């Protein structure tokens, strides 16, 4: 089985991930449960993020802001039970790293109870001290700058970042501050491809793009956008590789129809009882 083959590989560590800078592109995807994590491993991805996109994609929330540490721990545990080879990261959700004490406590929960090998947090220079505090205590951190969904109330929505000088400088400064603080990689979300290229050239750590063009050291996408399971128009940067919503709807409609018309279940789905047992049953 492909999964067993993948599972015999040594797990990719955060330092192994970092060492891939400039080599073959790092391929990352989100996953929130065991079956999809296993399929991502079978497909050969390098990194699986149990992201706070869990909220809108799986938990029925409108935004990432509603996701809690308990949510990430619960789903991360499912993912880490299912895979061996990829680096599994857990998102520190909204306000779970407002202070260093919070960050240490909550990151330790993701590692200890969720089984993740690294955490991701959003922000640049303003949270560099948090990254420094986590990494100096042995918790690898992936940073995330550009469009940061946990800040949408302040930034005014899911809009591209770094398009003017001030915004582009904020992306550069944020990424550099996170690198200096010890982050092993940085996500660049919804920033112009040319900006992402120069940041990628200047940083020693890998850049992982989502809506940041082809010249990053790797890419990450939200699983439900790739598979047509997001139930909303896909973001500009996403490509739908499959229509699992359509396939699932068709399968469930066929199941409903076959039950309704009596063609399912048929004899092949049933079990035989020993001869004579029915005749000797008592309903007294």
96 is a site residue for ligand KIV (CB under 6 A) = no
Residue 217 contacts ligand KIV per CB under 6 A: no
Region of 39-47, 48-56, 173-181, 232-240 interacting with ligand KIV (CB under 6 A)? 48-56
Choice between 47 and 192, CB closer to ligand KIV: 47
Say whether residue 182 binds ligand KIV (CB under 6 A): no
As measured in angstroms, the least distance from the Cβ of 50 to ligand KIV is 8
CA–CA dist 42, 134 (Å, integer): 31
* Catalytic annotation, pick one of 189, 258, 261, 268: 189
Out of 187, 188, 227, 230, the only residue in the binding site for ligand KIV (CB under 6 A) is 187
Closer CB to ligand KIV, 83 or 222, in the complex: 222
Binding ligand KIV (rule: CB under 6 A), the pick from 17, 53, 218, 226 is 53
Tell me if residue 261 is catalytic: no
Q: What is the Cα–Cα distance from 62 to 175, expressed in whole angstroms?
A: 28
254 close to 246: Cβ distance less than 8 angstroms: no
3-state secondary structure 106-168: HHHHHHHCCCCCEEECCECHHHHHHHHHHHHCCCCEEEEEECCHHHHHHHCCCCCCCCCHHHH
What minimum distance in Å lies between the beta carbon of 251 and ligand KIV? 27
**Closer residue to ligand KIV, CB minimum distance, 52 or 132:** 52
In the complex, least distance from residue 220 CB atom to ligand KIV, rounded to whole angstroms: 5
d(CA 197, CA 190): 13
Q: Which stretch binds ligand KIV (CB under 6 A): 47-55, 194-202, 229-237, 242-250?
A: 47-55
Stretch that binds ligand KIV, among 37-45, 50-58, 198-206, 249-257 (CB under 6 A): 50-58
Quote the radius of gyration of the chain (alpha carbons, Å): 22
Neighbours of 6 (CB within 10 A): 19
- Quick one: which of 169, 143, 165, 167 has its CA closest to 155? 167
Task: Give CA separation, 186 vs 29, 71, 127, in Å.
Answer: 14, 23, 13
Strand-pair category, 185-189 with 26-30: unpaired
- Determine which residue in the list 195, 210, 216, 226 makes contact with ligand KIV, applying CB under 6 A: 210
Summarize as ranges the residues that interact with ligand KIV (CB under 6 A).
Answer: 30, 49, 51-53, 91, 144, 187, 210, 220, 222
Question: Among all residues, which ones are annotated catalytic?
Answer: 189
């Amino acid at each position: 089985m492909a999964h067993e083959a993948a599972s015999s590989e040594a797990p990719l560590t955060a330092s192994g991930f970092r060492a891939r800078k400039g080599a073959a592109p790092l391929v990352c995807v989100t996953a929130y449960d065991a079956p999809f994590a296993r399929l991502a491993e079978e497909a050969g991805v390098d990194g699986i993020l149990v992201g706070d996109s869990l909220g809108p994609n799986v938990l029925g929330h409108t935004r990432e802001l509603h996701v809690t540490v308990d949510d990430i721990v619960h789903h991360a545990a499912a993912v880490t039970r299912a895979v061996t080879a990829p680096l599994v990261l857990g998102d520190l959700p909204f306000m779970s790293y407002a202070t260093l004490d919070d960050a240490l406590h909550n990151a330790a929960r993701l590692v200890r109870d969720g089984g993740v090998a690294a955490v991701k947090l959003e922000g640049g220079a303003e949270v560099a001290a948090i990254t420094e505090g986590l990494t100096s205590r042995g918790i690898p951190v992936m940073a995330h700058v550009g469009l940061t969904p946990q800040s949408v109330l302040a930034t005014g929505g899911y809009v591209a970042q770094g398009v003017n000088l001030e915004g582009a400088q904020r992306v550069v400064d944020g990424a550099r501050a996170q690198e200096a603080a010890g982050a092993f990689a940085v996500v660049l979300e919804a920033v112009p491809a040319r900006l992402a290229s120069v940041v990628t050239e200047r940083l020693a750590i890998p850049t992982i793009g989502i809506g940041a063009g082809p010249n990053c050291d790797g890419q990450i996408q939200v699983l439900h956008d790739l598979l047509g399971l997001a139930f909303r128009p896909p973001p500009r940067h996403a490509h739908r590789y499959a229509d699992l919503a359509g396939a699932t709807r068709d399968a469930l409609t066929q199941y409903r129809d076959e039950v309704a018309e009596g063609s399912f279940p048929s004899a092949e789905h049933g079990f035989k009882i020993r001869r004579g047992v029915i005749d000797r049953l008592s309903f007294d």
